[in-house]
Chain A
Amino acid sequence: MNLTSRRVGLTNVIAVNTQRIDASVAIQFKDQMREITRSGHGRFVLDLSPVTFIDSSGLGAVVGAMKQLDAQQTLELAGMNDAVRKVFELTRMNSVFTIHPDLDIALQSRAG
């Protein structure tokens, strides 16, 4: 599990280089998110397009990553596939994140 971050305009784009965010990587995911967001400012967009599955541990790690942010930072999500979106919707966590259909749309959006 590896997360990488790059700056696109005013947005920090975080790429997820794994197909699964599950119990085996949830702690690592949250730790890496903490490292990335510690050094960046403003808006972060997590590009979930390579992710085909997330379990409740992975969901908790994404929520935890948002809770780690300071008041000037935001975390938005992009590129969820159907199975990932389903977990967010069933748990109503879709209502606490700004979610974009894909990264391009997220980058065009002025949200955050």
Chain B
Amino acid sequence: MAYALQQIINGVTLGMIYGLIAVGYTMVYGIIGMINFAHGDIFMIGAFLSLMGLTVLSALGITSVPLALAITLILACGIAALYGWTVERIAYRPLRGSFRLAPLISAIGMSIVLQNFVQVSQGARDLNLMPLIPGGFKVMEQDGFVVQLSWMQVMISVTTLVMLAIFTWLVTKTSLGRSMRACEQDIKMATLLGIDTDRTISLTFVIGAALATVAGMMFLLYYGSINFYIGFSAGVKAFTAAVLGGIGSLPGAVLGGLAIGLIESLWSGYASVPYKDVAAFSVLAIVLIFMPSGLLGRADIEKV
């Protein structure tokens, strides 16, 4: 029982990170119907930018951890958002209205570019960060097994929920959110009604990149070790989460992220660690066989 609770706590933390990345995938997919393969690498760049920010700030002599984290978060989100904007501008916008596979290949190319750019500029070795937020508290104790909830996990969950709350407010209450939803329903009609669709799509990428950066920073703080390759596996996992939840659905992305996180940690805890990816992908395949449009996705009705 205690062991299961501990695994669930770990799984939820991991799922929060996946969920944040998955939101970016699902948002872009909802609006322009493409898999943004470079999104996982934006997450990786976000993690690198966070590490740089923290290193620079400590070199400048800022010792207060909350202050350093806040400044880094803002800076990293801003720069990563610029990356998201540039990627869209260079690799996707010229291909708008082209056939379906062209942006996909361009996105794969962009993912290779970002990955290798970071490898060339920052080296291939693992970079480590000392744990910044130590400690935690005891949730319960049973038969000598202590269930720990670290402050780090609390912070990850709280930050994720706050970001998602802001994001939900943005999508449901602001005029930008209304444009985004309009583009999602019918981009041609939205253009006819005077919505600047290019700007809306750019901002979607910017917001997605910022959320991925938050996830990247959480990843850095939680695991303390990053390299140029973390984007691929996290990206695939997050995309799996988005598909599992029903691609295009924002609550679905978070739900899918939590599901993938829980499957991974429970499988690692009770079965075998090396096969945790197999478990996550198998669940995806099984769910899609019975619910071909994901958990919360709308069924794709095709008119002839």
A and B: bona fide binding partners: no
